[in-house]
Amino acid sequence: MPGREHIWQRYAAWLGLENPMVSLGEGDTPLVRSWRIGPRLGFERLYFKLESLNPTGSFKDRFVVLEIADMLRSGQRVCLATSSGNTGSALAAYAARSERRCVIFVSEQTPDAKLQQMLAYGAHIYRVREFGRSAEITRRTFERLHRFATERGYRLVVSAFRYSPLGMQGVKTLAFEIADALPTVDHVFVPVGGGGLLTALWYGFDEWARGGRVQRVPRLHAVQPVGCAPVVRAWRRGEDRILPVEARTEVSGLAVPFDIDGALALTAVRASGGAAWALPDEQIWEAQAMLCHEEGIFAEPAGAAALAGFLAAIRENALRPEESVVCLVTGHGFKDLTAMERISSAQAVPLIEAEEIFELPFA
C-alpha cells in the first residue's frame, strides 16, 4: 500500500493524469485530533481533516488539478465553470499555472474575498442573477453553459460527477488519506452543497473496503443549512428524488437548490448507515467561531458545517463517546471576510499608550 505522502501522486499517475507542471502540491492534508472541543464533550477521538490547507484553500484543488491535466492532454485552451467560490478559485489558479483561459460564472452571493482570489489569478468572472438561489434559473444556467461549452469545444468544469466525472476521481483521495491514517473511523461529517464531495468519499471508502485496505466504510453524515437542504429533506421523508428548493441561506458555499449529485449523496448516506442534518446558519456560524477559539482552526462557514452537524448529533444522542469521528474542514476562513468580521467584531482593539502596558487586566 502506498505511504500517505504518495497517495495523491500515485493515484493521479494511475489515472494517467500525473503532470508535475500542473500540480501545486494539493492533497495529503493534515488530519488533526481535537484538542479541546472533543474532550470537553466526552469525545476523545474527534478529528478534523484540514482541506483548508490545500494550495488555494479548499478541497476543490483535488478535483481541478485532474481537470486541468486532462485539458492539457486533450489540447483544450478554455475552461468554463460555475462556482459559489472555491471551484472558481481553484480553477483560476491551476488555469494560470497551465496557461489556460478561465471564465467563471458565480452567484450574486459569492463572497468578495473569493472573487478577489479568482481575479488575482486572472480569471474572467460574471455574476448571474438569481443563480444559486432560484432552482429554475440555476438549472437553466447549467444547461446553457453545457450547450455553450459543447458547441465551442470548451471545458465545462463543475465539481460534480454529473458534469466532471474524471476530475471528481481526485476527491476520492480524501477518503484514501483518512482511511490510511485512521483505518477504523466510525463517522465522517460532510458539508453538502451539490453532493459531489460526499459521493466521492463513499466511492473512495468503498473502493478501499473492497480492496481490504479498511475494515469497513464509515457512516457518512450529510450536513446542510436549513435554508437550502434538499438532500436532508429527501432523507427525512424517505424519498429517492431530490426536489428543488429556493435557497435561503447565507452559507453561500452550500447553496445548491436542485439536484446535481444530491441523489448520489443521498444513496451514499443511506448505504453507509449515516444520517442527514439541516441546521440554521447561526449554528454553523457558532461552530465556525468554536473552531477558531478552541482549536485554532480558521474555516469559512461551509467548512465549519461538519462540526455543526457533529454537535447536532451529540445533542440527539446519535453518537457514542468511544467512537472515532472526522469532521471535514473544507475551506479556509480567509475566503469569506464577512464571516471573519462576524467572529472578530465582538472583540474591541483599543488604542493605548506604551506606559499603560503594565496596567492592562491580563497582565
Query: Residue 305's closest CA among 248, 249, 236?
Result: 249
Give the containing element (helix H, strand E) for 191.
Answer: strand 187-191
> How far are the Cα atoms of 93, 156, 182, 246, 267 from residue 47, in angstroms, in the given order?
29, 34, 10, 33, 25
What is the number of other CB atoms lying within 10 angstroms of the CB of residue 140?
Answer: 14
Tell me the pTM: 0.92
Please state, for a pLDDT cut of 70, what percent of the chain lies above it: 93
pLDDT of residue 342: 79
| pLDDT, tens digit (0-9, with 9 covering 90-100), for 24-49 | 989 999 999 999 999 999 999 999 99
- Which of 144 and 347 is assigned the larger pLDDT? 144
- CA dihedral (58, 302, 190, 235) in degrees, to 10, reads -140
Helix axes 262-272, 230-237, angle to 10 degrees: 50
Weakest mean pLDDT among 5-14, 56-65, 162-171 = 5-14
Does residue 5 register a pLDDT over 70? no
Rounded distance, CA 17 to CA 30, Å? Answer: 24
**Average pLDDT estimate for 230-234:** 97
In contact, 316 and 276? CB cutoff 8 Å: no
Strands 276-279, 155-157: pairing kind: unpaired
> Which domains are delineated in the chain?
4-58+167-344 (3.40.50.1100), 60-165 (3.40.50.1100)
Q: How confident is the model at residue 19 (pLDDT cuts 50, 70, 90)?
A: low
Q: How confident is the model at residue 1 (pLDDT cuts 50, 70, 90)?
A: very low
Helices (H) and strands (E) in the chain, counts: 14, 10
| pLDDT, tens digit (0-9, with 9 covering 90-100), for 183-208 | 899 999 999 999 999 999 999 999 98
Phi, psi (degrees; rounded to nearest 5) at 176: -60, -45
Grid coordinates in use for 248?
435561503
**Average pLDDT estimate for 166-185:** 93
In contact, 66 and 41? CB cutoff 8 Å: no
pLDDT of residue 97: 95
